[in-house]
Every structure is written in structure tokens, then in C-alpha cells.
């Protein structure tokens, strides 16, 4: 699955299969088995909220933004939403599976956690939760609200990344820092989003913009399949590049794990 945008990051409506090539494990692939728009049928979303010391002053506004995002999201009947926060020594599952009505003004008023920031542990736990209920026709998405500064995780980012990439989980990161003072962890947030094929956004853009960006993104996704090239490595790095128009930009996860022959 991938996303095509123009040089202004606007989704491209018209895209033909000969407009792009896939670099898979350094090999240029132009011969595709199939190419189509992705059907956005069912979503399984985990919202991860940083509630550690470093974001405490902005935690309540962040909770209010999350509430607004969840309320405005155009959910389908069968979509799943789980909500987790992370602070102290571990992540906390606040609501699992069917949480669209769980979040209300009373929850927003709850006292925040404070303490250390187990960011990568939270990503790992969220990835595990999604993997457990993985089904082929469900898109799995993590929306991470944080300043990107991990301070205490037992897991490394590499642990979580492997699970996210292997299962095609898309991560959108939202930097909760003030616009005038970008977070030291912004590079981490960008990397997490870029590796999965998602996007790094800023809370300063406003919830409406974030929501539009994510929904437009999901609705403009394309799926391409091809025979995976032979390789001695299990991990295939991938990149999508234009064949003619160099103004086209493509986003996808950075790679996938492949243990035997077949299409991806």
C-alpha cells in the first residue's frame, strides 16, 4: 500500500501503473500483478497519548484535541478504536476495541500520569494489540500524540518497528509541542511515521487539519502487487519512485519481511 502526492503534499487523483516503479531490495520493478485504489473498508485504530512529565503542561488541551478528533472522525459501523496512554514505567490501556463513545468531557478532566516516557514500549504494546486481532481486510492505524522523547522504555524502537513493518501498521505521529518551540523528539516522530508510511503532523496545525490530512491520506491510498524478487535477506527494503514526473512523491512503509516466493 502506498500514497502518491504532488510536490505540495496534495494527494494525486490520477495515477497510472506506469507512472511509478518500485525499488524492492535494490531491484527496479515495473511489472506489476495488480494496481488499484485501496478499499477503505474497516479500520482498527489505536490512539496513543503521551501523559508523561515532559508533556504535562499541555496534557489537558491534548486530551481535548483527541476527544475532538474521535468525535469528528467519520467512523464506520465496524471500525475499532482503542485508547492507550503512556507515562511512568509502562503504557496503560484505557479502553480496548469499541471506544468511540468512551471518551467524554469527564475523561478529559482526569488527572494526567506524569513521570517517565515509555514511548517505544507503548508502540510495542499497541503493535502487539493490533497484531492479535489482525485480519486481511482491516487497516491497522496508530495515531501517536507525543513529543517524541522516550526516557525509559525496555524495548528499543527497532523492536516495535519490526512488528509495525511486518504487519503493515500505519503510524501517524502528532507532535504535541507548541509551534514556537518544536520538540527535541521531532526527528523520532518523523522517523516513526516515515518508516511505517504514515505522516508526522503537528498539533499546532489544529485538529481539523490533522483529521482532514489523515482521512484524505487513507482515502487516497493505492495498492500494488508484484512478484517479490529473490533475495537471501528476509527483509526487503522498498521505495517507490516516479518513472516520468519527478514532482510526484510516494510514501510507503520502508520495507517488508518475506520468507519465501510470492507476491506482495
- How many residues appear in the chain? 264
Q: Shortest gap between Cβ of 1 and another protein (angstroms)?
A: 20
User: CB 175 → another protein: shortest distance, Å?
Assistant: 22
Closer residue to another protein in complex, CB, 9/244:
244
Quote the least distance from Cβ 242 to another protein, whole Å: 6
**Angle between the N-to-C axes of helices 157-166 and 186-196, in degrees from 0 to 180, rounded to the nearest 10:** 20
Positions that interact with another protein (CB under 8 A) = 18, 20-21, 23, 26-28, 30, 230-232, 239, 241-246
Q: Is 54 helix (H, G, I), strand (E, B) or coil?
A: helix
Rank residues 67 and 186 by Cβ distance to another protein and give the closer one: 186
The rounded distance, in Å, linking the Cα atoms of 164 and 198 is 11
Residues 6+ apart with CB under 8 A from 80: 42, 43, 44, 45, 97, 98, 133, 138
The Cα–Cα gap between 191 and 144 comes to 13
Quote the least distance from Cβ 200 to another protein, whole Å: 18
Q: Round to whole Å and give the CA distance between 41 and 167.
A: 17
In this complex, which beta carbon is closest to another protein, that of residue 180 or of residue 232? 232
Residue 231 C-beta: closest distance to another protein, Å: 7
Q: How far is CA 192 from CA 175, 200, 223, in A?
A: 12, 8, 21
CB 222 within 8 A of CB 12: no
The widest CA-to-CA distance across the chain, in whole angstroms, is 55
Helix axis angle for 207-219 and 59-72, nearest 10°, is 40
The closest alpha carbon to 49, from 135, 101, 107, 134, belongs to 107
The minimum distance between CB 14 and another protein, in angstroms, equals 17
For residue 243, the minimal CB distance to another protein (Å) is 4
DSSP 8-class letter at 19: G
Amino acid at each position: 500500500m502506498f500514497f502518491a502526492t504532488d510536490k505540495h503534499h496534495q494527494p494525486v487523483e490520477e495515477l497510472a501503473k506506469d507512472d511509478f516503479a518500485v525499488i524492492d531490495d535494490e531491484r527496479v520493478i515495473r511489472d506489476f500483478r495488480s494496481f488499484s485504489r485501496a478499499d477503505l473498508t474497516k479500520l482498527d485504530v489505536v490512539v496513543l497519548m503521551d501523559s508523561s512529565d515532559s508533556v504535562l503542561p499541555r496534557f489537558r488541551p491534548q486530551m481535548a484535541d483527541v476527544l475532538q478528533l474521535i468525535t469528528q472522525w467519520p467512523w464506520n459501523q465496524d471500525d475499532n478504536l482503542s485508547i492507550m496512554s503512556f507515562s511512568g514505567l509502562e503504557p496503560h490501556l484505557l479502553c480496548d476495541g469499541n471506544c468511540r463513545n468512551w471518551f467524554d468531557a469527564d475523561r478529559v478532566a482526569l488527572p494526567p500520569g506524569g513521570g517517565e516516557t515509555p514511548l517505544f514500549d507503548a508502540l510495542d504494546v499497541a503493535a502487539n494489540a493490533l497484531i492479535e486481532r489482525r485480519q486481511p481486510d482491516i487497516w491497522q492505524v496508530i495515531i501517536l500524540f507525543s513529543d517524541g522523547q522516550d526516557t525509559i522504555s525496555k524495548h528499543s524502537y527497532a523492536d516495535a518497528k519490526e512488528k509495525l513493518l511486518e504487519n503493515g501498521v500505519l503510524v501517524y505521529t502528532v507532535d504535541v509541542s507548541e509551534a514556537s518551540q518544536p520538540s527535541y523528539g521531532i526527528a523520532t516522530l518523523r522517523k516513526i511515521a516515515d518508516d511505517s508510511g504514515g505522516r508526522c503532523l503537528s498539533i499546532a496545525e489544529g485538529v481539523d487539519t490533522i483529521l482532514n490530512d489523515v482521512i484524505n491520506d487513507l482515502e487516497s491510498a493505492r495498492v500494488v502487487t508484484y512478484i517479490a524478487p529473490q533475495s537471501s535477506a528476509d527483509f526487503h527494503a522498498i521505495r517507490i519512485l516516479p518513472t516520468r514526473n519527478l514532482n510526484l512523491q510516494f510514501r510507503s512503509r520502508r520495507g517488508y519481511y518475506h520468507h519465501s516466493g510470492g507476491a506482495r
